[in-house]
C-alpha cells in the first residue's frame, strides 16, 4: 500500500511501536505533555491506565440504562394492552390485569433490550464495523493484535509536524516508528 501513500502523499499519522505497556504509557504521557491531543493507542489487550492517560468519556452505561427502561416499559405495556384493553377474557378467575404474572415478561424484556443496547451501543460508539482503517496500512500494525503496543499521532493534530513528531516518537521507543499513509 505504500504506493498509494506515495500517489497522494497525504499522511494519516505517525505510528510508533512499543515493546511493553509501560513503554506505551510513558510515550502517551510524553506525547500529551508535548501537546498532542489527536492520538490513539492500540494494544493487544485492554489496559485501563492508558485510557486514563488518554482521558476518554464513556456514555455506554447511559445507553444501556435507557435500553433497559424501554424494555421494561414496552414489556408491561404490551401485556396490559393485550389482556386488559384489546381482548379482555376471563382466565382461571384471575383479574384481567394480573400484574404479578406479568412481572416475568417485563423482566425478560428489560434484560433483552438492555443487552442489545449494550452491544449495539458499544459498536456504534466505537464506529464499528469499520473494516477499512488507514492504520491498517502500516504493515507492522499486524502485531497490534499479537504482542506489540502502538501509539498513533494523527496528522490532523495541529501540533503534528511530519518531521518532528516521528522524531519525538523515535526517542520514546527502541522499536520502529512509521508513517501511516492515508
Judged by CB under 8 A, the chain residues 1 through 40 that form the site for other proteins are: 1, 20-22, 40
Q: Which stretch binds other proteins (CB under 8 A): 9-17, 53-61, 156-164, 165-173?
A: 53-61
Taken in order 28, 173, 127, 181, the sign of the CA dihedral is positive
Q: With contact defined as beta carbons under 8 Å apart, do 169 and 153 qualify? A: yes
Rounded CA separation 142/8 (Å): 23
Within a 10 A sphere around the Cβ of 37, how many other Cβ atoms? Answer: 14
Q: Which stretch binds other proteins (CB under 8 A): 8-16, 55-63, 153-161, 165-173?
A: 55-63
Quick one: 75 or 166, whose CB is closer to other proteins? 75
The minimum distance between CB 170 and other proteins, in angstroms, equals: 21
C-alpha distances (whole Å) from 69 to each of 29, 76, 110, 112, 153 are 40, 11, 7, 11, 40
Within a 10 A sphere around the Cβ of 103, how many other Cβ atoms? Answer: 13
Quick one: 82 or 164, whose CB is closer to other proteins? 82
Quick one: 147 or 164, whose CB is closer to other proteins? 147
Residues 120-159 that bind other proteins (CB under 8 A): 121-123, 125-126, 128-133, 135-139, 141-147
Amino acid at each position: 500500500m505504500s504506493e498509494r501513500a506515495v500517489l497522494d502523499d497525504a499522511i494519516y499519522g505517525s505510528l510508533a511501536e512499543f515493546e511493553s505497556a509501560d513503554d506505551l504509557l510513558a510515550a502517551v504521557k510524553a506525547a500529551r505533555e508535548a501537546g498532542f491531543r489527536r492520538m490513539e493507542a492500540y494494544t493487544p489487550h485492554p489496559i485501563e491506565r492508558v485510557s486514563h492517560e488518554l482521558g476518554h468519556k464513556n456514555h455506554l452505561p447511559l445507553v444501556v440504562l435507557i435500553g433497559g427502561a424501554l424494555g421494561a416499559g414496552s414489556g408491561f405495556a404490551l401485556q396490559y394492552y393485550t389482556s386488559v384493553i384489546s381482548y379482555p377474557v376471563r382466565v382461571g378467575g384471575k383479574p384481567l390485569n394480573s400484574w404479578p404474572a406479568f412481572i416475568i415478561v417485563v423482566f425478560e424484556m428489560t434484560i433483552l433490550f438492555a443487552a442489545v443496547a449494550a452491544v449495539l451501543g458499544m459498536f456504534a460508539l466505537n464506529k464499528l464495523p469499520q473494516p477499512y482503517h488507514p492504520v491498517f496500512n502500516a504493515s507492522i500494525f499486524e502485531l497490534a493484535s499479537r504482542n506489540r503496543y502502538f501509539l498513533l499521532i494523527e496528522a490532523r493534530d495541529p501540533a503534528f509536524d511530519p518531521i518532528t513528531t516521528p522524531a519525538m516518537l523515535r526517542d520514546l521507543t527502541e522499536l520502529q516508528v512509521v508513517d501511516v499513509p492515508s
